[in-house]
Amino acid sequence: MLAKLSDVLESAQREEFAVGAFNTPNLESILGVLNAAEELGCPVILMHAEVHEDLIPIDIIGPIMLYMAKRAKVPVCVHLDHGESIPLLEKAMKLGFTSVMYDGSLLPYEENVENTKKIVQMARNYNVSVEAEIGIINREGGQNEISFKTMEHMYTDPMTAKLFVESTQIDALACAFGTAHGIYKEKPLLDFSRVKEISRLIKIPLVMHGGSGVSFDDYRKAISSGIRKINYYTYMAKYAGEKVSGKLQEAKGIPYYHDIFSWGTEAMEEHAKDVLRVFSKTSRWNYHDDI
């Protein structure tokens, strides 16, 4: 069933768990994530990232995400991730996305505030939730080159976060506390005390970007500190790629594409179940600890 971000995060806030938010730039990933969420009976967020517009435009993937969300047996939010283009944000709202993230984190603070306020006002007209970001989450490409020891100046300042939320009236805040997008070359140094302080100062749900590749123990610490939405994609895609590669090596003769599609879907479902079990703090399932 289709749900708003504010609705799925309200229950996460109340029950102190995190909702998994997965980039789904193809049908295989949509099926894998929804199959996992339905099997576990937990809410989930399907995301289209602006950076994936060249891979598949929102005009094509958006209606598919919405159709699949509506027929799902669990609450599903359909979300635009890291939207920097205001026309694209509005397009997502018009398509029926129930949530958007405006990312003005690289802009001067005042400009970020003003743009975010405009997006919030626009979103209210469409009954859409808004996430925004303060602080800078490292956006290196597939490989993170910078040292985590040098990242503290990019972290979210708690008082600035409080002022930002009060000024913009957003529904969720993405905060920088040591994670990064892409493949980690070294273990991230996460500042959980910073998350706790931000959570103490503001009452809306906090979002963890760059969620792939973090240890299960650190996920639990982040959730205990106040994180209620965890963005995830890179390591799920990597896991599926490795599984498909192995299957191709095992295959006798020429493999059919529908087999590759099936292998990728199954791998992403398996991986999504592993992380969703941790995000939702469920202990009654076993999971792989080698993600």
> Is residue 232 part of an annotated ligand binding site?
yes
> Is residue 24 part of an annotated ligand binding site?
no
> Is residue 231 part of an annotated ligand binding site?
yes
> Is residue 102 part of an annotated ligand binding site?
no
Both structure tokens of 137: 């989450």
Q: How far is the C-alpha of 210 from the C-alpha of 144, rounded, in Å? A: 11
Q: How far is the C-alpha of 222 from the C-alpha of 213, rounded, in Å? A: 14
> Is residue 211 part of an annotated ligand binding site?
yes
State residue 30 phi and psi, 5-degree precision.
-60, -50
Around Cβ 117, how many Cβ atoms within 10 Å?
Answer: 17
The residue from 7, 54, 81, 274 that is catalytic is 81
> Is residue 133 part of an annotated ligand binding site?
yes
> Is residue 182 part of an annotated ligand binding site?
yes
81 is catalytic: yes
> Is residue 181 part of an annotated ligand binding site?
yes
Q: Is 262 exposed, middle or buried (0-12, 13-18, 19+ CB in 10 A)?
A: middle
Inter-axis angle of helices 234-250 and 257-279, nearest 10: 140
Pseudo-torsion of CA 67, 68, 73, 78, nearest 10°?
-80
Strands 227-232 and 44-49: unpaired
Both structure tokens of 129: 């939730």
> Is residue 234 part of an annotated ligand binding site?
yes
Q: How far is the C-alpha of 152 from the C-alpha of 146, rounded, in Å? A: 12
**Residues making up the binding site for Zn(2+):** 82, 103, 133, 181, 209
**Residues making up the binding site:** 82, 103, 133, 181-182, 209-212, 231-234
- Positions annotated as catalytic residues are 81
**Residues making up the binding site for dihydroxyacetone phosphate:** 182, 210-212, 231-234
